[in-house]
Amino acid sequence: MSFATHDDLRRLLCALGGVIRDGVLAGRRGMDAVSLSAVADYAGGDTIYAVDKFSEEAILTWFGKNWPAQWPVQVVMEGIEHDLCFPEGKDVSETHWKCLLDPIDGTRGLMYDKRSAWALGGIAPQKGGETRLSDIVAAAMTEIPVTKQWRADQLSATVGGPLVTEAVDVRGRSSSPICLAPSAASDFSHGFASLVKFFPEGRTLTAQIEERLWDELVGLNSSPSPTVFDDQYISTGGQFYEVISGRDRMIGDLRPMIFRVLDMESSLVCHPYDSCAALVLQKSGAVYEHPLGGFPDAPLDTTSGVAWIAYANEGLASLARPALQKILRQFLS
């Protein structure tokens, strides 16, 4: 497939992200946190809340009306457990593309109006069950803002093109380019860097690993005041954004590894749909890899676990990688 086709796919994912964003903003109007946080269902190891339902109908309608018939596509997303193909009536075997979506990544923060969520999308040539995250050729992440926020950012990329970033004024839908860049810091002192520990499960072991890491890298007793800061943004897309925008120097999600050691594999982890926009993170210049090295690959499904770590730049990666991998082998082997 040509670069032009990849860019067309990127634009389609951006358009879909805008529809999801606008649908959620309209749907939640007049609703309080109690209503938005009502449990609607369970799927793919995650809880589906009332706010999640705003996006589903909008997605199906958009694909039915807007997806080019010459590019038959299979859509895989949380909450849809059956084969879903467009144009309608196509069999999976007839599709050319496989599109992985997380319509609202960061539901928990959004439904309590605490922090933006993100609509995430990635698309790859169809290889059936062999299609993997490493096959994605275009990706987009679209911010779904809290009620007091007028600006919503959208970031997108293709394998052969640059990172595209813009800010959308959700009051009138005007947009303008923005400049985002990961931190150029050479160490972790006086910056934000953390490992995921959103929920009680596995938090103790994760914190022990993290404490050992910072003791090796910065020395926990070397200063009367902490020099590494922790920020738990309950959204993989949101975490990617924090690295891309220069706010965080390192973020890592070890949950599949942690839960495996603790025999808690049914617990909620990062899934492929959470990390389907990793191409955007990579195009920003940040380093994205498996905590033990290599690309954090997985099938384009709703159940596999994905362990990953992102560093703002290669200098930080080179500084932290040897220490982290040594500590992980000590704790998780």
The CATH number of whichever domain residue 147 belongs to comes to 3.30.540.10
Q: What is the pLDDT of residue 304?
A: 95
Q: What is the pLDDT of residue 220?
A: 79
Mark which of 149, 177, 205 sits at the end of a domain: 177
Q: What is the pLDDT of residue 192?
A: 98
Report which secondary-structure segment, H or E, holds 103. Answer: strand 97-105
Q: Is residue 185 part of a domain?
A: no
> What is the pLDDT tens value at each position of the chain, 333 positions in all?
455 699 999 999 999 999 999 999 988 787 666 666 677 667 666 677 667 677 888 899 999 999 999 999 999 998 777 889 999 999 999 999 999 999 999 999 998 999 999 999 999 999 999 999 999 999 999 999 999 999 999 999 999 999 999 999 999 889 999 999 999 999 999 999 999 999 999 999 999 999 999 999 998 777 777 899 999 999 999 999 999 999 999 999 999 999 999 998 766 899 999 999 999 999 999 999 999 999 999 999 999 999 999 999 999 999 999 999 999 999 998
For 219, the token pair is: 């020395």
Instruction: Clarify whether residues 201 and 116 are in a common domain.
Output: no
Q: What is the pLDDT of residue 48?
A: 72
Residue 12 sits in which domain range?
3-177
Q: What is the pLDDT of residue 80?
A: 79
Domain count, the chain: 2
> Cα dist. 315→35, 70, 135, 170, 208 in Å?
46, 44, 27, 37, 24
DSSP 267: S
Instruction: Clarify whether residues 210 and 99 are in a common domain.
Output: no
Q: What is the pLDDT of residue 286?
A: 98
Instruction: Clarify whether residues 95 and 25 are in a common domain.
Output: yes
**323: exposed, middle or buried (Cβ count in 10 Å: 0-12, 13-18, 19+):** middle
Residue 232: strand, helix, or coil? coil
The CATH number of whichever domain residue 296 belongs to comes to 3.40.190.80
Q: What is the pLDDT of residue 36?
A: 63
Mark which of 117, 145, 177 sits at the end of a domain: 177
Q: What is the pLDDT of residue 310?
A: 98
Candidates 48, 61, 72, 65; CA nearest to 22 is 61
Please, are residues 14 and 142 in contact by the beta-carbon 8 Å criterion?
A: yes
Q: Is residue 29 part of a domain?
A: yes
Mark which of 142, 177, 212 sits at the end of a domain: 177
Q: What is the pLDDT of residue 45?
A: 61
Instruction: Clarify whether residues 49 and 145 are in a common domain.
Output: yes
Per DSSP, the residues of 178-215 read --------SS-TTEEEEE---SSTTHHHHHHHHHHHHH
The bridge status of strand 287-289 relative to strand 308-311 is antiparallel
Instruction: Clarify whether residues 207 and 285 are in a common domain.
Output: yes
Q: What is the pLDDT of residue 218?
A: 92
Instruction: Clarify whether residues 149 and 13 are in a common domain.
Output: yes
> Cα dist. 200→8, 155, 234, 250 in Å?
42, 31, 13, 21
Q: What is the pLDDT of residue 138?
A: 98
Instruction: Clarify whether residues 84 and 56 are in a common domain.
Output: yes
> Cα dist. 231→100, 172, 257 in Å?
27, 31, 21
Instruction: Clarify whether residues 43 and 173 are in a common domain.
Output: yes
Q: Which residue do the tokens 């299609």 mark?
A: 131
Whether omega for the bond prior to residue 87 falls within 30 degrees of 0, making it cis, is: yes
Q: What is the pLDDT of residue 139?
A: 98
Spatial neighbors of 74 by CB under 8 A, at least 6 apart, are 83, 84, 85, 92, 95, 97, 98, 99, 126
The bridge status of strand 97-105 relative to strand 73-77 is parallel
Q: What is the pLDDT of residue 323?
A: 98
